[in-house]
Copies of this chain bind each other. A is one copy, B any other.
Amino acid sequence: MLDRYKNIIDNELEKYCKELPKLTIYKPIKYILQLGGKRFRPSLTLLATDLFCGDPLRSIKESIAIELFHNFTLIHDDIMDQAPLRRNHPSVHQKWDVNQAILSGDLLYSLVNKLLASSPCQTIEIHQLFQQTAIEVCEGQSLDIEFEKKEDISLNEYVKMIQLKTSVLVACSLKIGAIIGGARLKDANLLYDFGLNLGTAFQIHDDILDIYPEKEGFGKQIGGDIIEKKKTILLIELLKNSSQEDHKSIQNILEDSRLENNFKVAKIKSYYKKYRVLDIAEKTKKIYFDKAISSIAKINISNEKKLLLKEFAMTLMSREF
């Protein structure tokens, strides 16, 4: 149901890229923007504006700014994660170098701010919300890096981290769209909560899909998070609940670089089964999903539109988005 908005975003981004200066440092920016992507966040901005005023294009500048900001974080995160690929193509630091990736990311963030400062819809409220969100996204990324080295992470800490790193930008995308659509502050905040909780549920869903995919195949490594020793909700709960003996074995398996990947994944998966961590993850996901759904009911829009939001939330959680 977001396809219509995605097309608008894709067209607008193409125009935007064409108008960028010819200087070398703009090349990585054009490159990453043209790698495609779901355009999930900016589509939500247009959707939210559409919900309240029927004219999604009113928030077109802000939606593009949000997509640019997301891509800025991807360029810098890929450096930090030493990720060689982004959307099946070389990441920016791989195709150019780390310096060009740092600098083109910085430039991209400046372009975001310029775009926001040139919008006819700008308000102090939007500027403040956006910049507070940007701060939180950086804080979330820093927690993610910290967690890599940390032994015990609580479920609360994990949820806080994914909310900062991912969900606040989804929530902000919706709220900015709502404000521009003329929503009352109460409704804009409800949409923010919807986005925050749905984003959280989706991130947990994503952790689950990595090891329990709905469809196998497509050449994607099942259990990639295990191989990377990523602190997913499953691993966090496993480390917390396992017996002392199993805990030690699990650590050994994760650290053993001689083990074959599929074997490693299968071994950890058997521990997941033993300690029923999938149940814990599914339950946690449901808590946040239900919170998201309950926000919808309170928003001052037609029942038809509420149904639309609910369907969107369900589609998001039911497929490999």
Contacts and interface: CB of A to CB of B under 8 A. Distances in A.
Nearest to A127: B117
Contacts of A106: 76, 105-106, 109, 138
A114 interface: yes
A20 to B, nearest CB: 11
Of the candidates A79, A106, A124, A128, the one having the most CB atoms from chain B within 10 angstroms of its own CB is: A106
**Is the contact region of chain A dominated by helix, strand, or loop, or is it mixed?**
helix
Contact of A145 (B99, B117, B124, B145): B99
A121 to B, nearest CB: 12
Given A24-B142, A138-B103, A110 B131 contact: yes
16 contacts: A23-B142, A76-B102, A79-B102, A80-B103, A102-B102, A106-B106, A106-B109, A107-B138, A107-B142, A110-B134, A113-B127, A113-B131, A116-B127, A117-B124, A117-B128, A122-B124
Given A79-B98, A103-B141, 10 more contacts: A25-B142, A80-B99, A80-B102, A110-B131, A113-B113, A113-B127, A113-B134, A114-B135, A116-B127, A127-B127
